[in-house]
Structure 1
């Protein structure tokens, strides 16, 4: 039984590495056996907005305690900004963590083997890094759980944020929510894809927006008031996987 299990584990690892070689850097080839393939991640990203994001918006009464004199509509907008900030920080920190993992592993391997490597591209193409990339996809869920439990992400969500109504208590409240936990799982799944899935940069307020890429929130219009939910792409400048959401207004009402 032990030998059979070891054989099955080895076959699984070899199959994973082979699949990684086939799909690496080629989003047109999808491993249909991967539960965290980009299309599935795109679906989960939409579900996160429809479900956990909506649940987090129900914290109006609690959040209102930190803002005196503001009405429910204003509190809703504040929560939206904090949720958006939390998502973007989570994605950014996961991306940095993923890059550091592979580069530090590759650099250590190259140094040990006395290899002369000068570029990041050479490092990520080392066999040990390719296998590590495949291995961490297998353990994506376990690693995301550790990231959440250790609270090792999003430590500077407030400090360097230029927002009038930013509040550490509100952010801490949201970081204990299911929304944040699922953000970590999804963002980690996004950044370990090859190529990396791309969460859109924030649109500039008071500028027009593409309605093929973003849909309106509760107000219609042709200009951006603020981003509610960023668009998600298969990779940077690649196909759109999920439309973003903006609070809009008409230019004539400026």
Structure 2
């Protein structure tokens, strides 16, 4: 009786432990499903989370926009032309960031293939099959950065010993007649889930966004800046690139909200520019949205006007 009681007690303890393990797994799964691609749940430790970007977006308009506007008008631009120029600059820098952020995802395979193609073709590794690269526990560092339309790869590879390079031989059966054995099974390696890999790449891109930002800014300025340009516009352009880059690396990415002449003036979306009214004459600064068609995290500015029919 005592032995049976002990067995039942041990079995109950084991079942409780298993139940707790399954409960934790279910809780983690539910948490992952809740937060996955959910812009309303953010990491509060992230200084560039959407809510903080909304604040920085408003500061951009209050500070750098104002200085850039004054610089343009003092140089001879009309008020309307200055406003339009700054809004076009914001949109253009955002589109640039959008293209480069997407390029990182599109080119990841090309970058990795190029890395290992060079690695494979080095003289000391001629005997290594195209699908096998062994580092024997040593590190291979791959740094991918987007610059213009190119992907630059910086690699730090430690050459492996001849013993390491022969590891693939250990993947072969030691006895050749083993291939004919009925016990041989051909387990097909599982392919990586493209959706999962894409998610990981987006997360990695976001984590290194701050490091890549100076490259993005330099790429844009190198491609666009001319000696004749007003140097006083540089802080505004660089701040636009910062906002744009941090917008596009969010999952899902953030977006802008504009309006057309004659649209009803919504005070939840826009602040008034220099007049008051019920209808929009023109948009000075678009609103910043949490995601496409999502809630406003940074109000824009628009000029109300009287609509005549």
TM-score (norm 1): 0.69
Change (3 A) 1:55 1:84: same
Of 71, 75, 80, the residue aligned with 1:77 is 80
| Alignment RMSD (CA, Å) | 3.5
Is contact 2:290–2:296 with CA below 8 Å preserved after alignment? yes
Q: 1:181 and 2:238 equivalent?
A: yes
Change (3 A) 1:21 1:91: farther
Structure whose CA Rg is larger:
2
1:223-238 → structure 2 map (5 Å cutoff): 223-238=279-294
Unmatched 5+ stretches in structure 2:
1-30, 114-129, 132-189
Map Cα deviations across residues 40-63 of structure 1 (whole Å, 9 max, x no partner): 111100110111111112214542
1:33-52 → structure 2 map (5 Å cutoff): 33-52=45-64
Instruction: Report the equivalent of 1:147.
Output: 216
Give distance in 2, aligned partners of 1:175 and 1:96. Answer: 26
1:32-111 → structure 2 map (5 Å cutoff): 32-60=44-72, 62-64=74-76, 75-105=78-108
Instruction: Report the equivalent of 1:138.
Output: 207
SS, match of residue 211 in structure 1 = coil
SS, match of residue 241 in structure 1 = strand
Give distance in 1, aligned partners of 2:58 and 2:73. Answer: 26
Unmatched 5+ stretches in structure 1:
1-18, 68-74, 156-167
1:2-13 → structure 2 map (5 Å cutoff): none
Give distance in 2, aligned partners of 1:106 and 1:22. Answer: 30
Larger % of strand: which?
2
Give distance in 1, aligned partners of 2:50 and 2:289. Answer: 9
Change (3 A) 1:86 1:138: same
SS, match of residue 75 in structure 2 = helix
Give distance in 2, aligned partners of 1:104 and 1:175. Answer: 35
Give distance in 2, aligned partners of 1:95 and 1:183. Answer: 13
Give distance in 1, aligned partners of 2:32 and 2:50. Answer: 14
Change (3 A) 1:186 1:63: same
**1:213 Cα deviation (Å)?**
1.3
Of 34, 39, 47, the residue aligned with 1:27 is 39
Instruction: Report the equivalent of 1:8.
Output: none
Count of residues paired in the alignment = 206
SS, match of residue 194 in structure 1 = coil
Give distance in 2, aligned partners of 1:26 and 1:198. Answer: 15
Give distance in 2, aligned partners of 1:25 and 1:109. Answer: 26
Instruction: Report the equivalent of 1:163.
Output: none
